[in-house]
Structures are given as C-alpha cells and as structure tokens.
C-alpha cells in the first residue's frame, strides 16, 4: 500500500540549512547531534512496539529542542507520517535518521486513515509528526489519532516542544488554568464568537495568528475585551529573533499596525476581570429607577435576576419593598 505514496529517505543536510537555525559545522553541532542520536539508540533495547502509533513532538524552531526518546522512536519506527516530508527532512537529516517518510496532511488525511489502520493491524509501528511542535494542536492528525484510538487504542504520545506552552510560560501571565484556542477562523460569525469567548474567559487564553492578521486580531479583541486588557505577543519562539512584547490590546494593536511583524506568532490574552457583584444599596437604586419607568414588581424581579444575577428571594424582596 505504501508504494502508492512517495517515500523519502533523509540525505545529508546542507550547511545553509543548518545555519538557518544557528547550527553549523564550526560550532561542533554535527558531532553533538550524532552523539544525541547515539545516546537515544542506547536508551532501551526495545524502542517501539508493533502496531503502535507514536505521536511525536518535534522542535518549533531550534533543532536542539528534541528529546532523546523522540529521536529513538523516529529512528526505530517503520515509517514516519509527516505533514510535509520536505520540511521533516531538515530535522531527520540533522540526526542521521533515515526512516522512510509518508505525507499525511489536511488534504489527504481522510483518505490515509484506513490505509494507516491497515498497516497498524498488520504490525507496523508508525510515528506521526507535524511541521513543528506537538501534532494536533492546530495541525493535521486529529482524525487519524481519533480513528486509531477507537480502533485499537494503541496511541502513545512522545511529549516535547509546544509553541502554545512556550508562549504561555514565558508570557508572565497566569499559566494555570489556561485554554489553547489555536488559530482563529479568518472571518464570519464563527470568528466573532471565538473572539468573544476568548474575551470573556476567566483565565489566560493562547491563540495562534499569522503575521499579516496580527494587528487586526488585536484590534478586534480590543473592541470586545477592552482596550486596556493585558496581552502578550510571542514571536519566533526558540529562534534567533525570539521576542516577547507585553502591553495592552490597544498599545500592541497600534504597535503592530505601524511595525508589521514577521515569523510565527502566538498571542496570550489575560483573563477577563472578575465581575464586581452589585451591593444591595446599588440594587435599590436600580429598583427605584425601574419603578420610575413604570415597571411592575414582577418585571423588576425578572430583570434583577437576569441582568444582575440576583438570587430569586432577594430579587423578590427588593422588587416588593416600599
């Protein structure tokens, strides 16, 4: 079945590719990579099991951010399922990994799922990687992992780099609890609903965004969440020009409108401020205003419960007090 898809084996990497990541022969990085790969091979006599799908995290920028276990798995599985085989080649060649690769991306995932399941049932061991970071987080693979989990239950995560977690822990905002939304819809009601949800969330929210839409997204958030809401923009994480810029939605929207960014972008939005519960005195002022507008006690009671979140007994008493 795999003959239907191009299988690519790793070739020696070029110095220009290594230099893009700040790693060249002169730094001794090649020998370090070989040593890491050798250490991974010695970790365990049995690295993978037949019929298992390994979901492997890979670096998000710096090629050194990969675990020995990930290297061991990638060296040992029968095939590696890649979002882009050409992109995966840079990492695999860096560590001398020559495991065959097969493309699995958003355009062919549905078609590939039954073929992958067949191979797993026949005893093949497979690894799934994305272009960068942890698969499934705004990357292809969810359909495959769900199908394998339901069919065999034999899915093993191999943890590692994640842009969302790196941005969160470096942001200075509370990391627990938090939510990861990934990429927002580009337009329409779904996008507006997601922005509104993020703005109302009672804890930190992590979003991915493209450089050309960053200023617009910050502006949209400012309109919904408030111009003064704290936010952090993380750019080019783990790479040479890594940057964390902290401020309010208004100040950063203005900054990136004037200075369009480049590279990979992660937004960390601070939690929505806790709502201040109205006091009984302020509620009485509200009741007096509603009475002046001619509302009956039943209508006042309903408004207090729905608009102010007042308990039923208190709303009844306030609405009927002289």
- Select 164-269's CATH number: 3.30.950.10, 3.40.50.300, 1.20.120.330, 3.60.15.10: 3.30.950.10
Q: What is the DSSP letter of 281?
A: H
At 52-74, the pLDDT tens digits run 999 999 999 998 999 999 999 99
Q: What confidence score (pLDDT) does residue 29 get?
A: 52
Q: Which residue has the higher pLDDT, 245 or 37?
A: 245
For the whole model, what pTM was predicted?
A: 0.75
Lowest average pLDDT, out of 40-44, 60-64, 87-91, goes to 40-44
Q: How many residues does the chain have?
A: 322
Query: What are the residues whose beta carbons fall under 8 Å from the beta carbon of 184, sequence distance 6 or more?
Result: 191, 194, 195, 207, 208, 209, 217
What residues does 56 pair with on adjacent strands?
A: 158
Residue of 36, 23, 1, 225 whose CA lies nearest to 115: 1
**Chain centre to alpha carbon of residue 80:** 22
Q: What confidence score (pLDDT) does residue 274 get?
A: 80
What residues does 126 pair with on adjacent strands?
A: 53, 79
What is the second-level CATH architecture of the domain 2-161?
3-Layer(aba) Sandwich (3.40)
Rounded Cα distance, 260 and 292, in Å: 53
At 163-172, the pLDDT tens digits run 999 999 999 9
Q: Which residue has the higher pLDDT, 8 or 221?
A: 221
At 152-201, the pLDDT tens digits run 999 999 999 999 999 999 999 999 999 999 999 888 899 999 999 999 99
H or E, element range at 306 = helix 297-308
Q: How confident is the model at residue 137 (pLDDT cuts 50, 70, 90)?
A: confident
Rounded Cα distance, 206 and 301, in Å: 39
Residue of 101, 73, 98 whose CA lies nearest to 87: 101
Peptide bond into 85 cis (omega under 30): no
Average pLDDT, integer, range 142-159 = 96
In the chain, the DSSP E strands lie at: 53-56, 79-82, 101-103, 126-129, 155-158, 178-183, 204-209, 230-235, 243-248, 265-269
In the chain, % of residues over pLDDT 70: 87
């Amino acid at each position: 079945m795999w003959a239907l898809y191009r299988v690519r084996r790793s070739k020696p990497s070029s110095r220009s590719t290594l230099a893009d990541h700040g790693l060249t022969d002169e730094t001794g990085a090649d020998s370090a990579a070989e040593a890491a790969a050798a250490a991974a091979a010695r970790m365990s006599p049995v690295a993978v099991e037949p019929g298992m799908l390994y979901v492997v995290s890979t670096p998000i920028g710096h090629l050194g951010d990969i675990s020995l276990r990930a290297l061991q798995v990638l060296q040992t599985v029968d095939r590696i399922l890649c979002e882009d085989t050409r992109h995966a080649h840079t990492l695999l060649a860096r560590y001398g990994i020559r495991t065959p690769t097969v493309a699995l991306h958003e355009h062919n995932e549905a078609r590939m799922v039954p073929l992958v399941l067949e191979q797993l049932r026949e005893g093949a061991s497979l690894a799934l990687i994305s272009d960068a970071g942890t698969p499934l987080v705004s990357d292809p693979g969810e359909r495959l992992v769900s199908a394998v989990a339901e069919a065999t239950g034999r899915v093993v995560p191999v943890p590692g780099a994640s842009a969302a977690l790196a941005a969160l822990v470096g942001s200075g905002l509370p990391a627990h609890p938090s939510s990861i939304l990934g990429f927002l819809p580009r337009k329409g009601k779904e996008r507006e609903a997601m922005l509104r949800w993020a703005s109302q969330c009672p804890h930190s929210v992590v979003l991915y965004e493209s450089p050309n839409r960053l200023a617009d997204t910050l502006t949209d958030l400012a309109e919904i969440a408030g111009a003064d809401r704290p936010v952090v923009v993380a750019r080019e994480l783990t790479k040479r020009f890594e940057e964390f810029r902290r401020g309010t939605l208004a100040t950063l929207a203005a900054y990136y409108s004037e200075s369009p960014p480049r590279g990979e972008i992660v937004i960390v939005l601070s939690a929505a401020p806790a709502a201040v519960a109205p006091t009984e005195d302020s509620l009485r002022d509200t009741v007096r205003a509603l009475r002046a507008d001619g509302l009956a006690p039943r209508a006042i009671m309903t408004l207090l419960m729905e608009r102010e979140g007042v308990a039923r007994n208190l709303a009844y008493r306030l609405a009927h007090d002289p």
